[in-house]
């Protein structure tokens, strides 16, 4: 059905979905929870904590190690590598525009960036600390952090929750507006090439927008904590499922224990998708065109032509926006001693 609809659209038989779809530009500012307004001082503190590797057991892994803001907000690896070269089971989601997700992690097991930030610290294959409080003890032992926490959170402000708030505040500034797509939907009709516009039509007509809608292409706007999930794969009777091992990870079921959540994953943003290979929760596909082909088949039971794939990839390339310049923070020193040595 969808396929014939696509053919009809391309033949001009029905109105193109460019108008029909609800194309939205990326907001310049990310929403923040009421109890954690984004302030400059908080962002600066959060940036330091985000970049500081001293809160991992080995002193070698920071948030930025796997969610590198100098790159696409991830690490270019199929699955991330934490302390002692250990690897996790899932592909690092990009931190760019993560503020536009209403839940965090592939399985939505954290509601807010504030909750997410605490997870990797104590994960044995990520930052490998005994627990997040032990990491916070290290923060407290670094004199330079004390003044900053007090400035932002007041006296006795050096808590895990406040550290997470600061990191989340920094992450909410990691937004990439003004992509060619954004300029196009704001009225600059020259911002997309003819092929990209064809790809945009095909993206909608194929049905990709049924999940990848909204400003971040990660589904409709939801309240924080309410996730937008899709079953992946939805159609499992195809060669891709075996080839890319798509049934191994139970997705949200692993977080909730509910059979109904089997293979449910949060719909990821497609913003800057050109810069976040390899793709999928298991990082099994290392080509954006192949990822498009696999998604069309496993989610919509569509077999895309090479031309369709090329056009959609061209459109997806238009979602790569402007990364803001970030000044490197100076991480507060422990004068004359290292916090990593007992």
Cβ-proximal residues to 79 (8 Å cutoff; 6+ apart), any chain = 87, 88, 89, 90, 91, 92, 282, 283
Nearer to a second copy, 123 or 274 (CB): 274
Q: Which of 126, 148, 201, 302 is catalytic?
A: 126
Burial of 184 (0-12, 13-18, 19+ CB in 10 A): buried
Distance CA(201)–CA(209), nearest Å, equals 10
User: Please, what is the end-to-end C-alpha distance for the chain in angstroms?
Assistant: 66
Nearer to a second copy, 2 or 77 (CB): 77
Q: Least distance in Å: CB of 282 to a second copy?
A: 12
Q: Least distance in Å: CB of 257 to a second copy?
A: 32
Q: Least distance in Å: CB of 316 to a second copy?
A: 8
Among the listed residues 25, 289, 301, 310, the single contact to a second copy using CB under 8 A: 289
Cβ-proximal residues to 242 (8 Å cutoff; 6+ apart), any chain = none
Distance CA(183)–CA(209), nearest Å, equals 19
- Regarding 337 and contact with a second copy (CB under 8 A), the answer is yes
Q: Least distance in Å: CB of 222 to a second copy?
A: 28
Distance CA(91)–CA(168), nearest Å, equals 20
- Regarding 173 and contact with a second copy (CB under 8 A), the answer is no
Question: Contact region for a second copy (CB under 8 A) — 58-66, 168-176, 184-192, 212-220?
Answer: 58-66
Pick from 134, 279, 267: nearest CA to 212: 267
- Regarding 333 and contact with a second copy (CB under 8 A), the answer is yes
Q: Least distance in Å: CB of 299 to a second copy?
A: 19
- Regarding 335 and contact with a second copy (CB under 8 A), the answer is yes
- CA dihedral sign of residues 274, 280, 283, 288: negative
Pick from 92, 219, 263, 289: nearest CA to 297: 289
Among the listed residues 26, 30, 51, 296, the single contact to a second copy using CB under 8 A: 51
Site mask for a second copy (CB under 8 A), range 68-107, x = bound = xxxxx--xxxx--x-xxxx---------------------
Cβ-proximal residues to 5 (8 Å cutoff; 6+ apart), any chain = 14, 205
Question: Contact region for a second copy (CB under 8 A) — 19-27, 201-209, 303-311, 320-328?
Answer: 320-328
Q: Say how far residue 270 (Cα) sits from the centre of its chain.
A: 9
Q: Say how far residue 18 (Cα) sits from the centre of its chain.
A: 25
User: How many residues touch a second copy (CB under 8 A)?
Assistant: 51
- Regarding 195 and contact with a second copy (CB under 8 A), the answer is no
Nearer to a second copy, 10 or 277 (CB): 277
- Regarding 341 and contact with a second copy (CB under 8 A), the answer is yes
- Regarding 338 and contact with a second copy (CB under 8 A), the answer is yes
Beta strands 264-266 and 229-231 are antiparallel
Q: Least distance in Å: CB of 307 to a second copy?
A: 17
- 44 catalytic? Reply is no
Return the H-helix or E-strand segment holding 255: helix 253-256
Under the rule (CB under 8 A), what is the footprint of a second copy?
51-54, 58-60, 65, 68-72, 75-78, 81, 83-86, 273-275, 277-278, 283, 286-289, 313, 317, 323, 325-331, 333-341
Which residues are designated catalytic? 126
């Amino acid at each position: 059905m969808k396929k014939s609809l696509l053919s009809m659209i391309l033949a001009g038989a029905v109105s193109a979905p460019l108008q029909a779809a609800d194309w939205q530009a990326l907001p310049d500012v990310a929403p923040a929870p009421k109890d954690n307004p984004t302030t400059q001082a908080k962002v600066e503190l959060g940036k330091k904590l985000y970049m500081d590797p001293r809160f991992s057991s080995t002193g070698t892994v920071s948030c930025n190690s796997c969610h590198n803001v100098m790159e696409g907000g991830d690490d270019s690896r199929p699955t991330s590598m934490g302390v002692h070269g250990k690897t996790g089971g899932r592909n690092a989601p990009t931190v760019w525009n993560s503020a536009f997700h209403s839940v965090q992690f592939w399985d939505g097991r954290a509601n807010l960036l504030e909750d997410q930030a605490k997870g990797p610290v104590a994960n044995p294959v990520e930052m490998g600390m005994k627990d997040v409080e032990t990491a916070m003890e290290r923060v407290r032992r670094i004199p330079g952090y004390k003044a900053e926490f007090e400035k932002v959170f007041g006296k006795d402000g050096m808590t895990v929750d406040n550290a997470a708030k600061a990191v989340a505040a920094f992450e909410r500034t990691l937004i990439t507006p003004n992509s060619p797509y954004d300029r196009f939907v704001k009225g600059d009709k020259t911002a997309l090439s003819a092929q990209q516009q064809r790809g945009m039509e095909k993206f909608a007509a194929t049905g990709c927008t049924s999940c990848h809608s909204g400003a971040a292409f990660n589904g409709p706007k939801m309240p924080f904590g309410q996730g937008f999930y899709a079953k992946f794969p939805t159609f499992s009777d195809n060669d891709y499922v075996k080839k890319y091992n798509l049934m191994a990870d139970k997705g949200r079921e692993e977080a909730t224990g509910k059979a109904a959540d089997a293979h449910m994953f949060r719909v990821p943003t497609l913003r800057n998708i050109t810069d976040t290979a390899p793709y999928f929760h298991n990082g099994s596909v290392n080509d954006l065109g192949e990822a498009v082909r696999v998604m069309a088949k496993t989610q919509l039971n569509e077999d895309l032509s090479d031309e369709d794939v090329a056009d959609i990839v061209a459109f997806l390339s238009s979602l790569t926006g402007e990364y803001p310049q970030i000044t490197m923070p100076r991480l507060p020193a422990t004068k004359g001693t290292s916090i990593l040595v007992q």
